Amino acid sequence: MAPERLLVVEDDPTLRELLSASLRLAGFDVAAAESGAQALASVREQRPELIVLDVMLPDIDGFEVVRRLRAQQADPPVLFLTARDAPEDRIGGLRAGGDDYVTKPFNLEELVLRIRAILRRAGGRQPDGRITVGDLELDPDSHQVSRGGQPVELSPTEFSLLRVLMEHAGQVLSKDQLLQLVWQYDFGGDDSIVASYISYLRRKVDATEPKLIHTVRGTGYVLRRPRR
């Protein structure tokens, strides 16, 4: 099996070289970029399976890089690197389309573990059977989703959230449960990121009737098979 392709985007040349070398030693195929513009070009050329992205870049900040990628339907998962560690910065980064947020200075071993966790959440290379709920189908192996036979384009985090909901079809999951199952991260009591991603999913998955994703007030969310 070929190594997963990563793109490291960091304007500090010393840190960029350290990250690239360390990730190659960990078994990844690594390309590097030093600016937002280079990152956008590299994604088109290299098609990385994950981007390690500095937030503070000299031309386009990392949040804007991800917004542009998502607008172009490019959906590799993104791990942000930044010295900004306020909760609102972390939440803002995830809402921009990131999948994890690591503050500097960081532990390289922890960074590698977080990268592997994101790749697993994004579908990775863990084949198992397709999941079907009504006319909604998710294939964890190919990372494809369809509704009524029509493809549904999802970001990696949207895909992970939908997969959890489908694996627990009929079961009401609280926001705290979804945070643990999808993000595996403690947001310091702020669970608004869950509501945001549920809204994104509904626009894509529930664009047609019958609606499958439901809110259970005061409890959480459930994906249910359509009632006959």
CATH of the domain at 208: 1.10.10.10
Q: What is the mean pLDDT of residues 2-16?
A: 92
Residue 192: count other Cβ atoms within 10 Å of its Cβ. 11
Residue 30: inside a domain = yes
- The pLDDT-based confidence of 67 (bands split at 50, 70, 90) is confident
Instruction: Flag whether pLDDT at 123 surpasses 70.
Output: no
The single-letter DSSP state of residue 173 is B
Q: How many domains does the chain have?
A: 2
**Does residue 115 sit in the same domain as residue 183?**
no
Q: What is the mean pLDDT of residues 34-40?
A: 95
State the DSSP H helix or E strand holding residue 5, giving kind and residue range, or none if neither: strand 5-9
CB-neighbour burial class of residue 63 (10 A; exposed 0-12, middle 13-18, buried 19+): buried
**Does residue 13 sit in the same domain as residue 95?**
yes
Instruction: Flag whether pLDDT at 102 surpasses 90.
Output: no
Give the residue from 96, 97, 215 showing the smallest Cα distance to 165: 215
- The pLDDT-based confidence of 214 (bands split at 50, 70, 90) is very high
- The pLDDT-based confidence of 121 (bands split at 50, 70, 90) is low
**What is the tens place of the pLDDT at every residue in 131-183?**
888 889 998 878 899 998 899 999 888 999 999 999 888 888 999 889 888 88
Q: Are 102 and 46 in contact (CB under 8 A)?
A: no
Q: Which amino acid does the sequence have at 3? A: P
Q: What is the mean pLDDT of residues 76-101?
A: 80
Domain of 97 in residue numbering reads as 5-123
**Does residue 117 sit in the same domain as residue 136?**
no
**Does residue 72 sit in the same domain as residue 18?**
yes
**Does residue 17 sit in the same domain as residue 54?**
yes
CB-neighbour burial class of residue 61 (10 A; exposed 0-12, middle 13-18, buried 19+): middle
Q: What is the mean pLDDT of residues 34-51?
A: 92
Share of the chain above pLDDT 90, in %: 43
**Helices (runs of H) and strands (runs of E) counted in the chain:** 8, 11
**Residue 138: helix, strand or coil by DSSP?**
strand
Residue 127: count other Cβ atoms within 10 Å of its Cβ. 10
**Does residue 147 sit in the same domain as residue 37?**
no
User: What pLDDT shows up at residue 209?
Assistant: 86
**What is the tens place of the pLDDT at every residue in 170-199?**
888 999 889 888 887 666 666 788 999 999
Instruction: Flag whether pLDDT at 125 surpasses 50.
Output: no
Tell me, what CATH number does 114's domain have?
3.40.50.2300
**Does residue 28 sit in the same domain as residue 109?**
yes
| Domain end among 107, 123, 139 | 123
Least confident segment among 26-30, 90-94, 113-117, 214-218: 90-94
User: What pLDDT shows up at residue 222?
Assistant: 92
